[in-house]
Amino acid sequence: MKNAVGREIPDNIEGIGKVKPYEGAFKNIGAIEKTKVKVSSKLPNEDKVLSSIRESIIKCGLKDGQTISFHHHLRNGDHVLNMVLKEIDELGIKDITVAASSIFPVHQPLVEYIKKGVVTGIYANYISGPVAEAISLGLLKKPVVMQSHGGRARAIEEGDLHIDVAFIAAPTCDTYGNINGVDGRAACGSLGYAIPDAMYADKVVAITDNLVDYPACPIEISQEYVDYVVKVDSIGDPNGIVSGTTKITKDPVGLKIAKMAAQVIKASGLLKDGFSFQTGAGGTSLAVAAYLRDMMKKENIKGSFASGGVTGYIVEMFEEGLFDSIFDVQCFDLKAIESYRNDKRHQGMSASMYGNPHNKGCVVNNLDVMILGATEIDTDFNVNVTTGSNGIIMGGSGGHNDTAAGSKLSIVVTQLTKGRLPIVVDKVTTVTTPGETIDVLVTERGIAVNPNRKDLIEKLKGTNLPIVTIDELKKTAEELTGVPEKVEFDDKIVGVVEYRDGTIIDVLKKVK
């Protein structure tokens, strides 16, 4: 059948089962149920500290066919996923599903475990590097399930994604399982993505290189949820934990786009006291923040909150009083970690509080403006941030479709063409975020507003901004680059893109 973004979705997918097609961004809100949770309760004085990861796997009773989970706050510096899989392989356990909130190039060893059948399924919100390529080339036995940050929390809480054992990389952990991310040599700040795993997995193992006396302080994940604690030499490489992408672009095209995006925000009427804002860590996205910073200072505007994965740049705006507080699910750099540790108005949030559409209201619902990137955007405003121009997986939603749905104004900022390819296309290769949740596309060649946003089109009429239709942008792009040849795919489905509400918005096919 065709889903609500016009994608052909099979009724059943081998390795996934029956499929619920995407019906619209706000169709599956309302009465839901959070699932039951198994707990092995403890007697007083039972010890939680084990001597090795292997012992924890054995004590948790991990079996063939089960699901294990990881969080990605250590990003490309993470050692934990690889260490755990090595032990699982050596124990001869097979057919494991890895539910990692994100997978990075550092997780290359996973490719071997996929080939050996140790790992046969993957859930992730974002995948880049060798594992992504292996999946697109059809090496993984079951289709990968690509989720969003909020959607993953939803799936865990509703039982769609049942985790048998969660392994939590813990920058600091005490002997009874209280965890924080702000201290230790692998400090990463907020542990927001790990919280649903801890609360809903059958068994939870904290893996730490900074085992401290009871009780840890602060506590981001409570002893209530942790079965075992394992001390290792190193959970991660600090150089890989901190992202290298948190600098404002110096590219004049990027700056031009950012400036126009800021002007769109101003024209929208949202830039006033109480303003709330989120932007990614990309150079152009951060440049939007820089222009807003100037505007807010000039007009003495005091915002309410900034949210998301948090960068030092946003922290600077917060420290200048431009935002009253920060909601942080993940710290992107040392400055963000330091602020999260020291300033109580820089508050943590779980992935569920951040973006789960099925709780009583997540933080993205209160966002005024969200600045988003795009690998492709089509004339229905559908955005692809999942697959690259070669059709191979190179990312995923992360918080993309969560924030687009929640915010009052979602703006995609991108150059019109990249590497001789048009970014605005007729149909995106993969729909990550549905067009109905994207309000504006800002490119260096013009700004297109979603026709559904008549109110916004009206407001922008009174400005000098170059408003065009998205079809015009597509045409301009194609004039510059030509119409690229379509990537050829095999019929084999190697993955599904799950919308945040659990419906399937697109499928991923094997690259020829």
Our finding on whether 353 is near its own copies (CB under 8 A) is yes
Instruction: Rank residues 315 and 363 by Cβ distance to its own copies and give the closer one.
Output: 363
CB of 34 to its own copies, least distance (A): 4
DSSP string, 170-209: ESEEETT--EESSSSTT--S--GGGHHHHHH-SEEEEEES
Least separation in angstroms between residue 117's CB and its own copies is 31
Q: Which 3 state secondary structure label does DSSP give 468?
A: strand
Distances (CA, A) of 113 to 29, 87, 144, 396: 38, 11, 15, 22
Output 83 or 195, the one with its CB closest to its own copies.
195
Beta carbon of residue 217, minimum distance to its own copies (angstroms, whole number): 5
Closest CA to 104 of 261, 269, 244, 293: 244
Question: Is 464 an interacting residue with respect to its own copies (CB under 8 A)?
Answer: no
Residues 272-291 contacting its own copies, CB under 8 A: 274
Instruction: State yes or no: residue 223 binds its own copies (CB under 8 A).
Output: yes
Site membership for its own copies, residue 405 (CB under 8 A): yes
Could you tell me which residues are beta bridge partners of residue 449?
A: 440
In 3D space, the residue among 414, 470, 404, 454 whose CA is nearest the CA of residue 260 turns out to be 414
- 39 touching its own copies, by CB under 8 A: yes
Residues whose CB falls within 8 Å of the CB of residue 137, separated by 6 or more in sequence, listed in order: 392, 510, 511
Closer CB to its own copies, residue 363 or residue 505? 363
Can residue 327 be called a binding residue for its own copies (CB under 8 A)? yes
Size (the chain), residues? 512
Angle between helices 283-298 and 252-268 (to 10 degrees): 50
Among 33, 233, 485, 491, binds its own copies (CB under 8 A): 33
Instruction: Enumerate residues 6+ apart whose C-beta is below 8 A from 250.
Output: 283
Among the listed residues 68, 134, 261, 363, the single contact to its own copies using CB under 8 A: 363
Residue 114 in contact with residue 102, Cβ under 8 Å? no
Residue 27 touching its own copies (CB under 8 A): no
Extract the tokens encoding 265: 């925000």
**Residue from 269, 321, 361, 482 binding its own copies (CB under 8 A):** 361
In the block, residue with structure tokens 């799950």: 498
Per-residue interface string for the shown chain with its own copies, residues 366-395, x marking contact by CB under 8 A: x-----------------------------
What is the strand order of the sheet 376-378 is part of? 383-384, 376-378, 424-425
Please state the closest distance from residue 379 (CB atom) to its own copies, in A: 25
Residue in 227, 436, 439, 444 binding its own copies, rule: CB under 8 A: 227
Cα–Cα distance measured from residue 20 to residue 7, given in angstroms and rounded to the nearest whole number: 13
For its own copies, the closer CB: 147 or 246: 147
Task: Report the residue from 15, 20, 34, 141 that binds its own copies according to the rule CB under 8 A.
Answer: 34
Rounded least distance, CB 26 to its own copies, Å: 6
CA 115/CA 476 separation, integer angstroms: 44
Which residues bind to its own copies, rule: CB under 8 A?
26, 29-46, 48, 176-177, 204, 213-215, 217-219, 222-227, 274, 304-305, 324-325, 327, 344-345, 347, 349-350, 352-353, 356-366, 405-408
